[in-house]
Amino acid sequence: MSNEVSSLRKFVAPEIIFGSGARKMVGNYAKTFGAQRVMLVSDPGVVNAGWVLEIETLLHEQGLDVVRFTDVSPNPRTEEVMRGAEIYREKGCDVIVAIGGGSPMDRAKGIGIVSTHGEQIRVFEGIDQTTYPIPPLIFIPTTAGTSADVSQFAIITDLEQRVKFSIVSKSVVPDVSLIDPDTTSTMSPFLTACTGVDALVHAIEAFVSTGSGALTDMHALDAIRLINNHLALLVEQPEDKYLREQIMLGSMKAGLAFSNAILGAVHAMSHSLGGYLDLPHGLCNAMLVEHVIDYNYTSAQERFAVIAQTMGIDTRGLTSKQIQKRLHNHVTALKRDVGLKSTLGKYGVNVSDIPYLSANAIKDPCILTNPRRSNLRDVETVYEEAL
């Protein structure tokens, strides 16, 4: 009986509209949820790109009031979530629309939780800590990477403690995700690279996760194929709509995979690093990924061999060690091709920071599904290699 139970897998996903122009359905969906006053959560970069005004106009056309909440920093902070929830309640909002990258979407999830629970956001750290239903969430991602629009994760930064913490709950899976590749046209090449590598890491970690299964594997492998084949080209040719659509599709599939299979040591270590230095999340992942692959390789050799094959590496006749080396070299070459060559040392991380970073990483829920059991010393060693 116990074997039967352990092979059970749950798969959660929002309603998804994918394709050019998907964002334009935002007003219809808000009306469907009975909205009268929408809180529109975004950030200054997305405002400058013009997307916030367009979404606001679409909501106004449906006769809806809109309350903007856009005066925020790049990584979503606890006090911004608390302020947003206060405004949501004061203004009598009833639906949340978020447009942007992972930060506005995670912030919107936090606002949704606090607005119905009335507690500090930090109380909800961990898995399934929410009690009450949260307001309807309609998300429009403008980056092809974080997949907050399809995931049951919210990652919030506690500036006082200098840590990022994870909230994992089915309640923060958006009700609707309007995935429109057109919105990614305003990303810089650097952001395209960072978010694309983030999505690739989502897919790799989901495929080797101890929580992986048939429902997540197909999405993870397709995401690896799509991102591997198209990301470097997109960074070179940002105006190519076909490439943009393929990377957006890859990002979505990676999100469906990791939201359900969970992640591993790259993300646990990246959350710790991002909380400590306030760096872009995708950049943190990029600096760690090949070192964690090397650390995990012996615990998931067959799965890593499938990843290598999916990335176009001919593994016939190669030993496991040779496949590991080819995969390591391929991932570092892909990072180089998209312009992400930095190491932790270049961002001011010293050997003396590693015990603090490792102590936080080992407490992150993502470490629980890493294919190789990790203790504090293991994590410290991987950080040292990434310097």
Q: Report the interhelical angle of 281-296 vs 189-208 (nearest 10°).
A: 30
Q: Are 185 and 234 in contact (CB under 8 A)?
A: no
Phi and psi dihedrals of 13, rounded to 5? Answer: -155, 150
Burial grade of 2 (CB within 10 A; 0-12, 13-18, 19 or more): exposed
For 3-7, 105-109, 110-114, 260-264, which range has the lowest pLDDT when averaged over its residues? 3-7
Angle, vertex CA 274, rays to CA 268 and CA 277, nearest 5: 140
- Which numeric CATH code is attached to 187-386? 1.20.1090.10
69-121 residue pLDDT tens = 998 888 899 999 999 999 999 999 999 999 999 999 999 999 999 999 999 99
Burial grade of 225 (CB within 10 A; 0-12, 13-18, 19 or more): middle
Q: Are 309 and 283 in contact (CB under 8 A)?
A: no
What ranges do the domains of the chain cover?
2-184, 187-386
Q: Which residue, among 89, 30, 41, 96, has the nearest Cα to 63 in the 3D structure?
A: 30
Does residue 207 surpass a pLDDT of 80? yes
Confidence class for position 222, pLDDT limits 50, 70, 90 = very high
| 229-246: average pLDDT | 97
Q: What is the pTM of this model?
A: 0.95
Average pLDDT value for the chain: 95
CATH architecture of 2-184: 3-Layer(aba) Sandwich (3.40)
Does residue 213 surpass a pLDDT of 50? yes
Predicted pLDDT at 278? 86
